[in-house]
Structure 1
């Protein structure tokens, strides 16, 4: 009897938590880290090579803000590209056994800068934190995204 309880407890520990990280694929509401306002709706999908990419599928209107149509001072291949439909994250890879995704690149189409990117999804799979940085993660900014689907 004790052996069965021990096995059941061990199995519940092994098969819970972050062992089976939920996929970040789906539709997300991007929240501005400075104002707290909704910025855009982003669609994340998994590529055939198991990397994740993200595309802007809707720019969220905000009071007192006129949205920019094209990428501002962006390097190639983003130069003068429309923001709506732009692939803003490329190359993100899942870190096995965690809810973390690393080694991606993200562009800020309003500033025209490309950053290293990593994402951590919370345990419920309903929020993620995107960290954009140059070189060292501590020298960056974070945004929260909320799952819509």
Structure 2
């Protein structure tokens, strides 16, 4: 019986430490720290994607005027902004992130800080030139 309790404790501790990036996240403006949007991260075919599910500041019916190709003119709400991330240990990388304000696409990696905070890094080249944001899990 002691072994069953031990296995149960081990299983619970593993699941508590297993942080997921899936779900809804709030983003914040870099300068004002004002809440900007709610992003949903989801998995499809062992790859991770994210789309805007709520635009908090600005026009609720805004479109991505500065986006290129197939995303140009698409509504901001529903816009897929992170594509093709691969899980690599505790990090998620080898994907891209779209900045809908500039229309630019950057290399991207995500790293859970804890269950409620996500480090999001968009960059050019070798991650030296870029920007880091922290997203907060939406309750």
* TM-score clears 0.5: yes
Structure with bigger RCO (C-alpha 8 Å, 6+ apart): 1
Contact 2:25 2:135 in 1 (8 A): yes
Structure 1: tracts of 5 or more residues without a match: 1-7
Distance (Å, rounded) in 2 between the aligned partners of 1:70 and 1:118: 25
Q: Which of 37, 41, 45 is 1:44 aligned to?
A: 41
Structure 2: stretches of 5+ with no match in the other structure = 1-5
Counterpart-to-counterpart distance in 1, 2:26 and 2:65: 22
- Say which one has the larger Rg: 1
Matched-pair contact (CA < 8 Å) for 1:33–1:144: no
Instruction: Report the TM-score, using the length of structure 2 for normalisation.
Output: 0.83
The TM-score with structure 1 as length reference comes to: 0.78
Which structure carries more strand by proportion? 2
Divergent runs of 4+, >2 A: 65-68
Instruction: Tell me the residue number matched to 2:112.
Output: 121
Give the structure with the larger helix fraction: 2
- Give the paired residue count: 130
* Contact 1:130-1:143 at 8 Å conserved across structures: yes
